[in-house]
Amino acid sequence: MEPITALKAELVPLGNQQTIRAMVTTEHAQGAVTIPAGISVGAAEAKLIDPAQAVQTIHEVIGPVLVGKDCLDQRSIDQALMDLDGTADRSHLGVNALLPVSLAVARAAAAALSRELYEQIAELANTEPRLPETIVVALEGGKHAPSSGLTIQEFSLVGSPATAAQIIDALDAQLRQMGHPSTTGGEGGLVLSGQLTNQAALQLLLDAAIKSGTSQPQLALDVAASHGVIPEAEVRQLVGQFPIAIIEDPLEQENLEQWQAWTKEFGTSRLIAADDLTVGNPRMIKDAVQQGVANCLVVKLNQTATLSELLDLVDLVRVGNWKIVVSHRGLETDDAFITDLAVGIGAEYLKAGSLRRPERKAKYDRLAAIRIHLQQGTTTGSTVAPQAPSQPPSNPMTSPPDGDSRTSSEEPSVADSPVGQ
């Protein structure tokens, strides 16, 4: 028993908005979490309330109920949060009041038990920790970077952040040479100056990879099809032409039959990842698994209101043998909770932007620290052994990542085998 003695919240700047930081204090420990925010928010996502009101709600509504409760009992705390809200879309108290509290409880519990956060999450999830492969955003478009002229939201490299950084630098130099200088986007990817098509951008990214010594990189796209106008034929052509291992939201969320057809056609060799399609909603995810409309779940903060709900989603998709990408949001903070989450739930992938932005780098730095922790065998909650660096899989469906997520200080490596059919 580790009773909660205080719950505090404050507003923290986030881009030109504000977000919420919640801090849970117990008899022996403290845990604070700051939540991010989305830019391309899914239509059916859990509801946010005004940030100032969320802070007030935490102090006046949530605090009085949680103080005195056992911080180690995440399930019953999360149930209390759900009961207080009482709505399916979290519109009463707001996901931005509920989630930072739930996550801060987990961080405080880890501190009280003198364990790492990922160990605490792994124990709650009853899962073996795993070092995820990293998905590094190289180019930004869509709603995240409308000025780029690109209709796809994220063009990413699957592999180590250090290698991706070299490729991004090479692409940056190439664009300058071509007279199309780029800027750095909010996620640390490059933002083009509007003259290139999606196809040309992908070709330049591949060329930059080859120039910097990576002959056959694996790519990932977040098409975010519900947030723009991207013909299915165009996405299909890109998938046929480039080594794209992971395709997030390739189709609009209404087109379930097309999703199903895509998963049948491409799902044995590629990941068809559902983000806006399922928006962290348990009922939608259950249906999606049953109907086989995707084979990979994107997990983002703010889509679920508590950690327990999020862990339940993992169980739901594992039944269907889906893979998991834990993803950053469009607007991020220095908080690296998602890295511990990815390791703790045994996610195959972590998508967190590029090293060019400090709040994204923080996620990869945390992954490097966890790697060392695992290598030192200091883990208390896991039997997962650190693994020697090896090549990422050529087929993301049949070969789960093996923990080869080296970071900036480590030997560079990106996949050297394309995603083959």
Q: Which residues bind ligand PEP (CB under 6 A)?
A: 38-41, 222, 224, 275, 300, 327-330
Q: How near is the Cβ of 351 to Mg ion at its closest, in Å?
A: 9
In 3D space, the residue among 216, 201, 241, 234 whose CA is nearest the CA of residue 158 turns out to be: 216
Binding mask 153-172 for Mg ion (x = CB under 5 A): --------------------
206: amino acid identity, one letter: L
Query: 349-351 and 133-140 as β-strands: parallel, antiparallel, unpaired?
Result: parallel
Residue with tokens 């862990």: 311
- What's the helix, strand, coil split of the chain in %, to 5? 40, 20, 45
> Of the residues 69, 300, 361, 363, which is catalytic?
300
- Residue 143 designated active-site: no
Which residue, 34 or 327, is less far from ligand PEP as judged by CB?
Answer: 327
Structure tokens at 315: 């169980």
CB of 366 to ligand PEP, least distance (A): 18
Hunting for tokens 């204090």 — which residue is that? Answer: 25
Q: Does 275 bind Mg ion (CB under 5 A)?
A: yes
State phi, psi for 247 to the nearest 5 degrees. -125, 110
Residue 270 or residue 329: which is nearer to ligand PEP going by CB?
329
CB of 297 to ligand PEP, least distance (A): 12
List the catalytic residue out of 2, 116, 133, 187.
187
Closer to Mg ion by Cβ: residue 172 or 359: 359
Residue 95 token pair: 């996901």
In angstroms, the CA 9 to CA 7 distance is 7
| Residue 280 near which of ligand PEP, Mg ion, none (CB within 5-8 Å, type-dependent) | none
| Closer residue to ligand PEP (CB): 185 or 346 | 185
Distance CA 74, CA 315 (A): 17
Q: Which does 330 bind (CB under 5 to 8 A by kind): Mg ion, ligand PEP, none?
A: ligand PEP
Report the amino acid identity of residue 155. F
CB of 418 vs ligand PEP, minimal distance in Å: 23
Pick between residue 113 and residue 352 the one whose CB is nearest to ligand PEP: 352
With CB under 5 A as the contact rule, the residue among 2, 222, 309, 404 that binds Mg ion is: 222
Identify what 65 binds: ligand PEP, Mg ion, none; CB under 5 to 8 Å per kind. Answer: none
Instruction: Give residue number: closest CB to ligand PEP.
Output: 330
**Residue 49 or 225 with smaller CB distance to ligand PEP:** 225
**Cβ 186 to Mg ion, closest distance in Å?**
14
Instruction: List, in sequence order, the alpha helices (H) in 44-197.
Output: 51-57, 63-66, 74-85, 95-112, 117-125, 161-177
Closest distance to ligand PEP from the beta carbon of 300 (Å): 6
d(CA 399, CA 270): 11
Which has the closest alpha carbon to 91: 39, 54, 55, 48?
A: 48
- Binding partner of residue 38 among Mg ion, ligand PEP, none, CB cut-off 5 to 8 Å per kind: ligand PEP
332 binds, among ligand PEP, Mg ion, none (CB under 5 to 8 A by kind): none
33 binds, among ligand PEP, Mg ion, none (CB under 5 to 8 A by kind): none
Candidates 41, 38, 43, 31; CA nearest to 7 is: 31
Q: Find all residues with CB under 8 Å of 7, minimum gap 6, and list them.
A: 22, 23, 24, 25, 58, 59, 62, 63, 66, 67, 101
Does 300 participate in catalysis according to the annotation?
A: yes
Radius of gyration of the chain (CA): 20
- Report the interface residues with Mg ion, using CB under 5 A: 222, 248, 275
Catalytic residue numbers read: 187, 300
